[in-house]
Amino acid sequence: MNLGGHESNGKVTDRGLGSGAEAETVPGEIDKGTRDTIAAMLRIGCDLRMAAWVAGRSPAEVKAVIEEDETFLRDVQKGNSFFDYKHLLHLDEAAKDKKNWRVSMWLLERLRPERYEKQRPRTIKESQLMPLLRSMADALVDGVADEAAREALFDRVMATAEALDPNGVLGKDDGY
């Protein structure tokens, strides 16, 4: 089996898929064949964890190399983007036929949820949550005269709010 330049006889080991004849892997070093395998796996839709496993490396090793090597980071980003692009093209082609209008609606709901996603009654969108909590925190602290107590209360309310949003106010896109 050829996975983007990485030859394999299909045997699965505790380090991933490989022939067993490859050179020993050194933590922190990933050869071009392994990098190509990882990029190929991302192009077909695997996540980084699966791609690392198939290539015989740990996800932590791969992430460490990505953070050090901008070229590899771009290859990883291209792999992820290519998968999305390929499937968006298929959806776009299907949406050209008006009888497939649901494809267009599906795309809009998922790619622009803030504008097109169905809103259930009495619900708050994710984009509305942090501003609402910040406003509530401001209203709560307005009634507290002691400045130190006011700051402590505000910090406590905002810490609770941030715990509800593990990706942070603006979201977190680490590029892979």
Question: Distance from first CA to last CA of the chain, Å, rounded?
Answer: 26
pLDDT at 53: 93
pLDDT at 166: 58
Enumerate residue ranges in the chain where pLDDT < 70: 1-28, 165-176
Domain that holds residue 110: 84-116
pLDDT at 36: 92
Is residue 136 domain-shared with residue 147, that is, in the same domain?
Answer: yes
pLDDT at 72: 93
pLDDT at 26: 52
DSSP reduced 3-state for 54: helix
Q: Are 160 and 151 in contact (CB under 8 A)?
A: no
Is residue 65 domain-shared with residue 95, that is, in the same domain?
Answer: no
Domain count, the chain: 3
Is residue 159 domain-shared with residue 130, that is, in the same domain?
Answer: yes
Is residue 33 domain-shared with residue 70, that is, in the same domain?
Answer: yes
Q: pTM higher than 0.75 for the full model? A: no
Is residue 27 domain-shared with residue 70, that is, in the same domain?
Answer: yes
Residues in Cβ contact with 119 at an 8 Å cutoff, skipping those fewer than 6 apart: 125
pLDDT at 9: 42
The answer to whether position 169 is within a domain reads no
The answer to whether position 6 is within a domain reads no
Is residue 19 domain-shared with residue 77, that is, in the same domain?
Answer: yes
pLDDT at 19: 38
